[in-house]
Amino acid sequence: DSCIQFTRHAGDVLFNLNRLRSRDILTDVTILVDHQRFRAHKTVLMACSGLFYAIFTDQLKFNLNLISLDPDVDAEGFGILLDFMYTSRLPLRDSSIMVVMNTAIYLQMDHVADTCRRYLQSSEDI
Amino acid sequence: RDGRLPTVKEAGRSIHEIPR
């Protein structure tokens, strides 16, 4: 049906969610990754990651407010992906692309992992 | 015309900006 479509609304909402995160407003979970703590909103995490979707839809786990990830998960890679969730921007650096891809696989962020794979493939082609 | 208005795209900001 006809309407007024605000084309940047999704981005504006995401921007404000990131502001809420940076001010620790209504954040409801701490993610512990290799001794580093990351505060976040469960709803954003589960909207972006299959792993967090599975955790927070589990009747035994949805109420947890501290989640420790596998000790093999890289804190820098997690930080980059958490920033991506709140900004839609994924920095491309040769030094971090592998760790970002492996962390994306762990978090079941399949589209990001596929994109990293394609980026690595195209880098090899060059 | 069937009385419906056309869909309009609004490219400006849609909501307030939460301060830093």
At B1, is the pLDDT very low, low, confident or very high (cuts 50, 70, 90)?
Answer: low
Q: Is the pLDDT of residue A32 over 70?
A: yes
Selection from A82, A85, A66 nearest residue A74 by Cα: A82
Asked if ipTM goes beyond 0.90, one says no
Q: What is the C-alpha separation between A78 and A104, in angstroms, rounded?
A: 8
Interface test with A, best of B4, B13, B16 (most A CBs within 10 A): B13
- Tell me the per-residue pLDDT of A40-90, one tens digit each, with 9 for 90 and over: 999 999 999 999 999 999 999 999 999 999 999 999 999 999 999 999 999
Cβ of B3 under 8 Å from any chain A Cβ?
no
Give the closest of B10, B19, B20 to A6, CB-based: B10
- CA distances (Å), B4 to each of A7, A11, A37, B9, in order? 20, 28, 52, 15
Which pLDDT score is estimated for A23? 98
